Amino acid sequence: MKVSDDQKHNIVTYSLGSCIGLVIYDPFAKVGGMLHYMLPDSSIDKEKAKKNPYMFADTSIPRLFKYAYSLGAKKQRIKIYVAGGAEILDQKGFFNIGKRNYMALKQMFFKNNVIIHKQNVGGNVNRTVRLEIATGDIFVKTSGSKEEKI
């Protein structure tokens, strides 16, 4: 996870696979952050979640927001972008970690009245995401194609 208000910064997360890349940005405060979590639920291993909370949706998402608030971002101004959560062909039910990663985030956002501004999730493609702190511009590179501004 990275959060910044340094206008020279670019935050990148590479090769998401079934992981989720969550980008938040407050255009007024020019504060942005990015999170790359791998698994939906920390209940499988509380010890690991303590040591590395950024691995799981439930333990990492609140931290991303709190850190951004500490740099001056405000909930009502924050724009949210979600990428990743891809799946292998025929990966169904609970084995579909990509979809479960996305659902974990959706549930948390629903409970907290948070709306996703834009997203590029699911499918069988791999994604790399970049955020420019100065402008709030977000770029996505999907496997086999060039980087695109969204």
Partner 1 sequence: MSAIQELIKEIKNLKPVPAVVNQILEVVDNPDSSMAQIAEIIQYDPAVTASVLRTCNSVYFGLKTPAESIKDAVNMLGIDQILEIILMKSGAKALSGKQEGYGLHEGAMWKYSVSSAIIAKQVAQKIKLKNKNTIFTAALLKDIGKTVLDRFVKDSFEKISAQVVDKNMSFREAEKKVIGLDHAELGGMIAKMWKFSPKMVNIIRNHHLTDISKVKDKEIAVVYLADCICMMIGIGVGSDGLAYRFNDQAMEVLGMEPDDISIIIAEFAENMQKVEELLNVV
Residue the block writes with tokens 């009245």? 113
Residue 132 near partner 1 by CB under 8 A: no
Q: Does residue number 129 form part of the binding site for partner 1 (CB under 8 A)?
A: no
Residues in the chain: 150
**Contact status, residue 1 vs residue 34, Cβ threshold 8 Å:** yes
Whether residue 53 lies in the annotated active site: no
CA separation for the pair 53, 11 (Å, rounded): 19
For residue 68, the SS3 value is helix
Shortest CB 1 distance to partner 1, Å: 14
Residue carrying structure tokens 């791999």: 126
Binding part of the chain for partner 1, among 27-35, 69-77, 82-90, 109-117 by CB under 8 A, reads 82-90
* Residue 50 engages partner 1 in binding (rule: CB under 8 A): no
Distance CA 103, CA 18 (A): 12
Is position 146 an interface residue for partner 1 (rule: CB under 8 A)? no
The one segment of 4-12, 68-76, 102-110, 124-132 that binds partner 1 by CB under 8 A: 124-132
CB neighbour burial string for 8-47, b if at least 16 within 10 angstroms, e if fewer = eeebebeebbbbbbbbbbbeebbbbbbbbbbbbebeeeee
Give the β-pairing of 79-84 and 118-121.
Answer: parallel
Q: Which residue's CB is nearer to partner 1, number 8 or number 94?
A: 94
Q: How far is the CB of 21 from partner 1 (least distance, A)?
A: 10
x/- map, 5-34, partner 1, by CB under 8 A: ---------xxxxxx---------------
Catalytic residue IDs: 19
List interacting residues with partner 1 (CB under 8 A).
14-19, 38-41, 44-45, 48, 51-52, 55, 86-95, 97-98, 123-126, 143-144
